[in-house]
Amino acid sequence: MLIVISPAKNLDYDTPMPKVKTTKAAMLEDSAELIEGLKQLAPQDVSKLMHISDKLGTLNYDRFQSWSLPFTKANARPAVLAFNGDVYVGLDAYSFTDEDFAFAQDHLRILSGLYGALRPLDLMQPYRLEMGTKFANNRGKDLYAFWGSKITDALNKQLKKVGSETVVNLASNEYFKSVKPKALNGEIITPVFKEWKDGKYKIISFFAKKARGLMSAYIIKNKLTQVEQLKSFDWDGYTFNQAMSDGSELVFTRKQ
């Protein structure tokens, strides 16, 4: 199976890294094309485009201006060790063994507005460019138009390589919209995580994001390859809820 997750807004380029063999992202030519357009923006334009503060606009303006190839361990960092949001707290890549990293490299993809689809150990320079950003470019009105079918093609290529017909969608709706389901050569399985609150089960964003990371780590550390195996997920108090699940949507619930 192939897992897809979202990136994070928060980045960490300071924590000491484990010794890992890094790789080169496959879509850097596309990334460079986007960067050329982004470099034309003034700091205030970046703030307006991304609906962020002037301080963050300046930070990301500076990131765009300093972005350059080639990527090295001195100026870039493996994606799975650079993102630092709730999903990545659950994923906890710093606890991975060499075997875990190897499995993740084949079975995990991080969807990205700037980089397309990243392998965990692909080097990346810091950025912020959410997939839903309405950044007009030479290919269309936004990033969905820019990436077109390229992300889907990359996923299909990897599905074929690992001999699977299953995509485990642990990405947000914003990011998974960059994938074209009808062109995907595999069944899409979407785990959903709900908390008991006010007398019923609800999706609570903070917990759901962390749970997506936990589920990704569960698959990676146990080297799972079959959908049925996902139903045994029981980390952090979650259990599979058969009654609430329906077809390709697997619901996991917990009472805190």
pLDDT given at position 247:
85
Domain enclosing residue 48, as ranges:
2-254
pLDDT given at position 110:
98
Buried b (16+ CB within 10 A) or exposed e, 123-143: bbbbbbbbbbbebeeebeebb
Q: How many domains does the chain have?
A: 1
Q: What angle do CA 63, 59, 52 make, to 5 degrees?
A: 120
Residues shown for the chain: 256
Q: Give the separation between CA 7 and CA 59, rounded to whole angstroms.
A: 18
Question: Tokens standing for 13?
Answer: 């380029």
In the chain (256 residues long), the average pLDDT of successive 10-residue segments reads 97 95 98 98 98 97 98 96 97 98 98 98 98 96 98 98 97 98 97 95 96 98 97 97 95 92
pLDDT given at position 256:
72
CB 193 within 8 Å of CB 236: no
pTM for the structure as a whole: 0.97
